Amino acid sequence: MPHFDSFLFKSLLAFITGQCLAQYYPHIAFNSLFVFLGLCFVILPFLLFRKKWIYQSAALYLVLVLGAWVRANYYQLPPDHFSKMTEGTTFTVTIKQILKPNAYAFRYYGEVVAVAENPSCGKILISQQKDPLKKAFRIGTQFITQAVPEKIAPPRSPGSFDYAAYLSNQKIYHQIQLRPQRYFLLPAKPLQGLELHHHFKAKAISQIQSSTLSSSEAAHWLALIFGEKQYLESDLRDAYAQAGVVHLLAISGLHIGIISFAVSWLLLPLLRIRYGKWLQQGLRLTVLWSFALWTGFQPAVVRTVTFFSLLDLSHWGKRPQPQWHRVVLSALILLWIHPPFLNQLGFQLSYIAVFEILLA
């Protein structure tokens, strides 16, 4: 049964509250004032009082301060962010992720690696105007442009989707409109790290789209294998939503459970050797986290893989924990590592669904 009065669950609520404070009151200096007050609020009760509820209140306040500090520190722009570098008229950009194009332009997420000749950083939204003489960029493509990054404008109509707020949650605040003859490409460099992963993923997506499958069939395969639902037509997505089965197109915990069971079954012979159980669990976690990377770390996938990781860690330590504690702890860990999860609807619905299942 869930323990809503447990200290771990209260800590999760305090951590989320702190992140919300940092989001909606960014002008408050969480890095200095709140840390000082938090230390005072924790140290003084230990010196003056001897009551358990005071200790818990002080600890929860410290967790709240920690949540606010984590989020404020995550979204704080570094000194070498390209928006803070006023000197320079050219920008060197590296393509990091390919987005779904529209009728007029190819779209990407990029990283500004230099302003003039000075190293810089910062994500940016890129729109490349379609031209019969120009090919679409690939992952890792670098170019130099004199196009000035512009602030992403908020929606004009009240109540419409705020794309600027959606991108700001991913630390993207500017965009570049690329037109022909306004940029030139740099020599290709070897791909490294996540760039290599995105390159292989984009290549696999391109091969599926150029196969003999129809556009609808290819879109279904991309949704089921890669979790890329953006290639589905809007009418098809609406039809799934109205039928109440849109979750069938999402990579969820069910997929992770099936993969985990299959890997464990294939590695059963390892149990015959010494330390075989540890080796089996280690290889299973490696496969699960590789699959999470392949799907782009979608919230439902990351939640389930983190849950399985905590399960294996508890087995290694020979201290099994209730499912409720593992779910709460996984949410706390993910929000600490990646605060933007808090604003992602998939992350919210994923944990709400799990909490409802545990309550039932």
- The domain ranges of the chain are 7-74, 82-185, 251-359
Give the model's confidence band at 191: pLDDT under 50 very low, under 70 low, under 90 confident, else very high.
low
Predicted confidence band at 311 (pLDDT cuts at 50, 70, 90)? confident
pLDDT at site 47:
55
Query: The tokens of 33 are what?
Result: 């004032």
Name the more confident of 239 and 167: 167
Q: What are φ and ψ of residue 82, in 5° steps?
A: -60, -25
Show the DSSP H helices in the chain as ranges.
7-24, 35-48, 52-74, 163-168, 194-209, 215-225, 234-243, 253-266, 276-294, 299-316, 323-337, 345-359
- Residue 46 has which token pair? 């230990």
CATH of 82-185, one of 2.40.50, 1.10.287, 1.20.1440, 2.30.30: 2.40.50
Could you tell me which residues come within 8 angstroms of residue 349 by beta carbon, excluding any fewer than 6 positions away? Answer: none
pLDDT at position 209 is: 78
**Which tens digits make up the pLDDT trace of 111-134?**
998 888 888 889 999 998 887 777
Q: 149-172 pLDDT, tens per residue? A: 889 888 888 777 888 888 888 899
Length of the chain measured in residues: 360
Q: Which residues contact 128 (CB under 8 A, 6 or more apart)?
A: 105, 106, 107, 108, 134, 136, 137, 178
Mean pLDDT over each residue of the chain, to the nearest integer:
79
- Helices 194-209 and 276-294: angle between axes, nearest 10 degrees: 60
Residue 38 pLDDT level (bands cut at 50, 70, 90)? low
pLDDT of 268: 85
The owner of tokens 């060197």 is: 92
Question: What is the C-alpha to C-alpha distance for residues 213 and 216, in angstroms, rounded to an integer?
Answer: 8
Query: Which of 127, 176, 114 is closest to 150 using CA atoms?
Result: 176
Prediction pTM value: 0.76
Alpha-carbon distances of 360 from 1, 230, 307, rounded to whole Å: 9, 33, 19
Whether the CB-CB separation of 300 and 346 falls below 8 Å is answered with: yes
pLDDT of residue 248: 67
What is the pLDDT at residue 125? 93
